[in-house]
Chains A and B, each alone.
Chain A
Amino acid sequence: MSENDLLLRTGADTETTVPASDRPAMPLGPDGLDRYTRRDLRKEEIAIARQFHGGTMWPYAVAAFGCFAVWLSFFPLAIMGMLNLPLAFVLSCFFCVGGYVTSHEAMHSNIGQPGSKTRWLNEAVGAVSTIPIVFPFSMARLMHLEHHYHCNDPLKDPDYTDEAPNMWAAWYKTWYNRQPGVDGSIHHYKRILAEMGTPAARRALVETMILQLVFMGTLFTMAWNGYAIEAALIWWLPRHIGLSYIRFFLSWAPHHPREGKTGRYENTNIFKSRVGHILSMGMQYHLIHHLYPGIPNHRTKEAYYALKPILKARGVDVSPL
């Protein structure tokens, strides 16, 4: 007996009883999964992700305060002529970049949730970490959370201005966006904060202005007292290098290409970095951070490999790693 015979009812016409296509019984999503499969995958995903939340966070606080203290000591040491400037320059670049990593944990309250005993530590870590890049924590947190809420939205994602067609254009844009007349990075942030108009946004704008004036005041004072080269190598140049590095690895690389990619599993990529896991600050697994911001940076790699089969089933390109 043929397959058609099995499908046919007695007396029925072949054309009306045999389906013309293998159309599914229920509508499938763009990922080809029905909603029951998606729900089961999501439950499994949450159960796995939960295992990676929290953990030891004090090293972030030690790193933040330790690096800030060392960086701060460079200024009097430079004036006293007791500083190895090339070494201080390299370390300052490292502190500028690393400071964003520690502040990033504080932005997501991973060091201390509101109302917890360690909340003060969370806020203190955030506050000191971004001083070397002249980017107040209040502004950094507001803008970063907006980035999470509206990831890859051309109008609402504050980091959308980092988008560029390729790696070299992205590096160029990290510098271009900081130009005084360009509506990119911090200038873009200031405009968004002014539009928000909330008390928190106003506070962030005031703190930004104060920190920028302190930065300029320090540079000018040191420069006119004979320490311009020292000021350039301890703060001015490391800040620029750090900001470009942060913009490239934390914004462009994990989100490129941004256009039209606003879905939960498509707004961030898994990518293989040429400089490795540590030097790219764990950003190869940035998708995990966007799915679960409560997973600390040092556990995203581990969480990715645990979640990889589910991510693959959800249509994520997991081939790079």
Chain B
Amino acid sequence: MAAVLKQVLAWMPFFFGIGFIAPLTAQLMQLWEIPAPFGLSPIAFGLVFGGTWGLIANIRGRWL
């Protein structure tokens, strides 16, 4: 159990990217009426954006 939780926490930036940044991006785009590129829906764009950013943060160890 502890080992599983440690793994979850180790991948937390990626999970945070898809779990929080993705819907936050989509909802901000809708609020500010910004269309998603390439014909994507706001949430699909949010998932690509948040997932990629979270993965990069996971690998690099930095969000910026």
**Which positions in A face B, CB cutoff 8 Å?**
179-182, 209, 212-213, 216, 219-220, 223-224, 226, 228-229, 231-232, 236
Q: Which listed residue, B9, B24, B62, touches A182 by the CB 8 Å rule? A: B62
Question: Cβ of A216 and Cβ of B15 under 8 Å apart?
Answer: yes
Question: Cβ of A180 and Cβ of B31 under 8 Å apart?
Answer: no
Contacts of B27 in A (CB 8 A): 223, 226, 228-229
Question: Cβ of A228 and Cβ of B20 under 8 Å apart?
Answer: yes
Question: Cβ of B63 and Cβ of A179 under 8 Å apart?
Answer: yes
Give the CA-CA distance A236 to B21 in the complex, in Å: 11
Contacts of B16 in A (CB 8 A): 216, 219
Question: Cβ of B20 and Cβ of A219 under 8 Å apart?
Answer: yes
Give the CA-CA distance A182 to B13 in the complex, in Å: 13
- Size of the chain B interface, CB-CB below 8 angstroms: 22
Question: Cβ of A181 and Cβ of B23 under 8 Å apart?
Answer: no
Given A179-B63, A209-B5, A219-B19, are A229 and B24 also a contact pair (CB < 8 Å)?
A: yes
The interface centre, meaning the residue of B8, B27, B60 with most chain A CB atoms within 10 A of its CB, is B27
**Which positions in B face A, CB cutoff 8 Å?**
5, 8-9, 12-13, 15-16, 19-20, 22-24, 26-28, 31, 57-58, 60-63
The interface centre, meaning the residue of A209, A223, A231 with most chain B CB atoms within 10 A of its CB, is A223
Question: Cβ of A220 and Cβ of B13 under 8 Å apart?
Answer: no
Question: Cβ of B20 and Cβ of A229 under 8 Å apart?
Answer: no
Q: Which listed residue, A179, A180, A209, A228, touches B24 by the CB 8 Å rule? A: A228
CB distance from A93 to the nearest CB of B (A): 18
CB distance from B33 to the nearest CB of A (A): 14
Question: Cβ of B20 and Cβ of A220 under 8 Å apart?
Answer: yes
6 contacts between A and B (CB under 8 A): A180-B58, A180-B62, A181-B62, A216-B15, A223-B23, A228-B28
Question: Cβ of A223 and Cβ of B62 under 8 Å apart?
Answer: no
Known contacts A180-B58, A219-B19, A231-B24; 17 further A-B pairs (Cβ under 8 A)? A179-B63, A180-B13, A180-B57, A180-B63, A209-B9, A213-B8, A216-B16, A220-B15, A220-B20, A223-B19, A223-B20, A223-B27, A224-B19, A226-B27, A228-B24, A228-B28, A232-B24
Which A residue's beta carbon lies closest to that of B5? A209
CB distance from B63 to the nearest CB of A (A): 6
Question: Cβ of A179 and Cβ of B5 under 8 Å apart?
Answer: no
Contacts of B8 in A (CB 8 A): 213
Closest CB pairs A-B (n = 8): A181-B61, A220-B19, A228-B24, A223-B23, A228-B23, A228-B27, A179-B62, A219-B20
